[in-house]
A and B are shown apart, each in its own frame.
Chain A
């Protein structure tokens, strides 16, 4: 099956500019996640969607970050304006049940953002 698709692969912007990332999850996966991975750290959840509704956005810096999932499929994550500390890899994931144990997340390859 096709994996989680993300674009662009790399993005370089200057601080205070805006940027958007796109994600297409695995077909049939109702839950979609955006994680932020800063160099040398584990991923951190930014926002979680169930279909097109938000399940958790408690760690999303809402003054500058926004996300939407129209029609419960594709999703976009936007940063406006960007700060230097936003430099990271932004990972999109979708999930399916892992044999009833828990949610098995399937991650895309991410978008590497550099803010100069």
Chain B
């Protein structure tokens, strides 16, 4: 029940295309859902985050779609660029300790020029 399941494991997209990564969870106590981006040899960095009281959040080319009833959320990267090539992790945490993140397995994105 504490797991966050992420798919796909890897993704190849052409430059200018849309990248979509999906996550699902079981624990209804989860209250905070961030996405982190990690480049090789670096630590993860926060990309965008959402709470379950909204269904969508957009920041630049990055959008989170959230479906509370299905317990699923996804990251959409519009106009994907080669510089977006990285590993993306979804995560979840409960209210009261949003720093205690349960991470998904990660998706390695490659954007081809």
Contacts and interface: CB of A to CB of B under 8 A. Distances in A.
Interface of A: 4, 31, 33, 40-45, 48, 55-56, 91, 93, 95, 98, 101-110
B113 interface: no
A31 B99 contact: yes
Interface string B71-107: 0000000000000000001010100011111011110
A91 B43 contact: yes
B49 interface: yes
A107 B46 CA distance: 9
Interface of B: 4, 6, 31-32, 34, 36, 41-46, 49-51, 89, 91, 93, 97-101, 103-106
Contacts of B106: 40-42
Contacts of A31: 99
Tell me what chain A mostly uses at the interface: helix, strand, loop, or mixed. strand
B43 A107 contact: yes
B99 A33 contact: yes
A102 B33 CA distance: 9
A25 B51 CA distance: 26
A40 B97 CA distance: 26
Given A91-B43, A98-B46, A105 B101 contact: yes
A107 B44 contact: yes
Contacts of A41: 103, 105-106
Nearest to B57: A101
A95 B49 contact: no
B97 A56 contact: yes
B32 A109 contact: no
Query: Would you list the 7 A-B pairs with minimal beta carbon distance, nearest first?
Result: A107-B43, A42-B103, A102-B98, A102-B32, A103-B99, A103-B98, A95-B99
B42 A109 contact: yes
